[in-house]
Amino acid sequence: MRDTRFDARSSEWIGDMTVWLRDHAEDNSEQLERLRRGLRRAREQELTPRQREMVFLYYDRGLKMSQIAQKLGVNRSTVSRTVKRAKQRLYRCLRYAL
């Protein structure tokens, strides 16, 4: 036996809230596009060629770090460290650019 008064209609209520939130959400497409442009520019200008290559393979191509390591002939930890440093550099760059 359920004590909560919302149990009988909980799924309807969640659906109603989802529709309301979607209808009343702010349009942030302009901000997202500005962020995408900034990210593209930062990847081209701020990353080393090696960082750019590893970030491309990891995020754009969806390869695992072990696959990247094997493809480039380096240790997996080198790939991990390089991607981490590239990510940190991009975060710093984008934080100040926006």
pLDDT of residue 4: 54
Residues of the chain with pLDDT under 50: 1
Tell me, what's the pLDDT at 83?
97
Which pLDDT value is given to residue 34?
86
Query: What pLDDT, on a 0 to 100 scale, did the predictor assign at position 10?
Result: 56
The pLDDT tens digits of the residues spanning 27-47 come to: 778 888 888 888 899 999 999
pLDDT at 86: 95
pLDDT of residue 31: 82
Closest-CA residue to 87 (of 57, 51, 33): 51
Among residues 56, 57, 76, 58, the alpha carbon closest in space to that of 66 is found at 76
Domains of the chain listed by start with CATH number: 29-97 (1.10.10.10)
Q: Name the one residue in this structure whose structure tokens are 């520019």.
A: 41
